[in-house]
């Protein structure tokens, strides 16, 4: 009896792992060229953001096994929906600098698995400047009051 339960559990676990094959990992054609302000902004974006905001996603091994595969593909799909540099209509590109300065992007769970995507405060500031120069927008750095408040610099 115990052996049967064990065998059934093992089969179930293997099936769950294999189900990752069906996750929707797509990298559609890149149909947009970004006019980066500098090579540094571009490489930081590729390192910290491109996995979820472009069609150049580097799929990790856990995107191939269930159930994590479904979490990863869902995250990427959602990220691309909001902001995608690989489409002519990029979406919320002008909010990129603000998301970085507020520490919302890259998401925390992503950073746990991709520590190399993290940035020091100085790097964030530099990157945010580059994002503004490339995509426009404001850094959201100045004390968090909602509502418009333009400071040109």
Please state, in angstroms and rounded to a whole number, the distance separating the CA atoms of residues 79 and 54: 9
Binding ligand HEC (rule: CB under 6 A), the pick from 75, 87, 102, 129 is: 75
User: Considering only 12-20, 29-37, 73-81, 139-147, which stretch makes contact with ligand HEC by CB under 6 A?
Assistant: 73-81
If DSSP codes are grouped into helix, strand and coil, which group holds residue 30? coil
- Helices 121-135 and 39-48, axial angle in degrees (round to 10): 110
Residue 107 CB, nearest approach to ligand HEC (Å): 5
Please state, in angstroms and rounded to a whole number, the distance separating the CA atoms of residues 36 and 1: 64
Binding ligand HEC (rule: CB under 6 A), the pick from 79, 85, 132, 134 is: 79
Q: Which is it for the CA torsion 128, 31, 70, 7, positive or negative?
A: negative
Residue 87 CB, nearest approach to ligand HEC (Å): 14
Of residues 37-56, which lie at the interface with ligand HEC (CB under 6 A)? 48-49, 51-53
CB under 8 Å to 77, separation ≥6 — which residues? Answer: 24
CA 89 from chain centre, in angstroms, equals: 17
78 binds ligand HEC (CB under 6 A): yes
106 binds ligand HEC (CB under 6 A): yes
Which residues of this chain interact with ligand HEC, rule CB under 6 A? Answer: 48-49, 51-53, 75, 78-79, 82-83, 92, 95-96, 99-100, 105-107, 110
């Amino acid at each position: 009896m115990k052996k049967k339960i064990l065998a059934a559990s093992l089969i179930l676990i293997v099936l769950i792992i294999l189900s990752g094959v069906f996750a929707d990992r797509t990298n559609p054609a890149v149909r947009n060229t970004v006019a980066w302000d500098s090579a540094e902004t571009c490489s930081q974006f590729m390192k910290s953001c491109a996995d979820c905001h472009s069609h150049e996603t580097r799929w990790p091994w856990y995107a191939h096994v269930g159930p994590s595969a479904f979490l990863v593909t869902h995250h990427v799909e959602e990220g691309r929906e909001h902001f995608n540099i690989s489409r002519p209509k990029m979406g919320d590109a002008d909010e990129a600098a603000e998301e970085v300065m507020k520490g919302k992007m890259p998401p925390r769970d992503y950073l746990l698995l991709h520590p190399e995507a993290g940035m020091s405060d100085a790097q964030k500031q530099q990157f945010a400047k580059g994002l503004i120069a490339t995509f426009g927008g404001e850094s959201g750095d100045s004390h968090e009051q909602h509502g418009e408040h333009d400071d040109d610099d």
